[in-house]
Amino acid sequence: MAYEKTVGVIGGTGQLGSAIVRAWLTSGAVSPEKLWISNRSGRNTVFPEWDGINFSTDNRKLAGNCDCILLSVPPAHFNCVDIDAGDSLVLSVMAGVTIANMEAATGAKRVIRCMSSPAAELQLAYSVWCAGDGATVDDRETAQTLFAACGVADEVPDERQIDLFTAMTGPVPGFVAFYAKCMTDYAIKRGIDPAVADRAIRQLFLASGMIFSQSDPSPADHIREMIDYAGTTAAGLLAMENSSLYANIEAGLDAAFEKAQSIAK
Ligand SMILES: NC(=O)c1ccc[n+]([C@@H]2O[C@H](COP(=O)([O-])OP(=O)(O)OC[C@H]3O[C@@H](n4cnc5c(N)ncnc54)[C@H](OP(=O)(O)O)[C@@H]3O)[C@@H](O)[C@H]2O)c1
What are the pLDDT digits (tens) for 53-86?
999 999 999 999 999 999 999 999 999 999 999 9
Task: Determine the distance separating the centroid of ligand 1 and the alpha carbon of 16, expressed in angstroms.
Answer: 7
CA angle 95, 93, 22 (to 5 degrees): 135
Mutation test of ligand 1: which of 16, 66, 265 has the most ligand atoms closer than 8 Å to its C-beta?
Answer: 16
Quote the mean pLDDT of the chain: 96
Asked if 116 and 22 count as a contact pair (C-beta separation under 8 A), the reply is: no
Does residue 26 fall inside a structural domain? yes
C-alpha 23/C-alpha 29 separation (Å) is: 8
The pLDDT value given to residue 43 = 86
Ligand 1 atom at minimum distance from 39 CA: 34
Domain boundary among 125, 144, 164: 164
**Among 45, 68, 216, 208, which residue's Cα sits nearest to residue 142?**
68
Asked if 110 and 89 count as a contact pair (C-beta separation under 8 A), the reply is: yes
Indicate if the pLDDT at residue 179 is higher than 90. Answer: yes
Q: What is the dihedral of CA 123, 46, 38, 9, to 10 degrees?
A: 0
Atom 48 of ligand 1, residue of closest alpha carbon: 16
Q: CB of 92 closer than 6 A to ligand 1?
A: no
The pLDDT value given to residue 46 = 85
Q: Please tell me whether residues 26 and 134 are part of one structural domain.
A: yes
Strand order in the sheet with 151-155: 54-56, 35-38, 7-10, 68-71, 89-92, 110-115, 125-131, 151-155
Number of domain units in the chain: 2
Q: CB of 81 closer than 6 A to ligand 1?
A: yes
Q: In the beta sheet, which residues pair with residue 131?
A: 112
Domain boundary among 123, 145, 164: 164
Q: CB of 143 closer than 6 A to ligand 1?
A: no
Indicate if the pLDDT at residue 264 is higher than 90. Answer: no
Q: Please tell me whether residues 159 and 219 are part of one structural domain.
A: no
Task: Determine the distance separating the centroid of ligand 1 and the alpha carbon of 78, expressed in angstroms.
Answer: 9
Above pLDDT 90, what percent of the chain? 95
Q: Please tell me whether residues 158 and 193 are part of one structural domain.
A: no
H/E stretch holding 246: helix 245-262
Indicate if the pLDDT at residue 1 is higher than 90. Answer: no
pLDDT band per the 50, 70, 90 thresholds, residue 136? very high
- Domain residue limits at 195: 174-262
Asked if 200 and 187 count as a contact pair (C-beta separation under 8 A), the reply is: yes
Ligand 1 atom at minimum distance from 96 CA: 47
Q: CB of 96 closer than 6 A to ligand 1?
A: no
C-alpha 24/C-alpha 123 separation (Å) is: 9
Does residue 2 fall inside a structural domain? no
Q: pTM to 2 decimals?
A: 0.95
pLDDT band per the 50, 70, 90 thresholds, residue 34? very high
pLDDT band per the 50, 70, 90 thresholds, residue 102? very high
Average confidence (pLDDT) over 165-186: 96
Q: Please tell me whether residues 16 and 133 are part of one structural domain.
A: yes
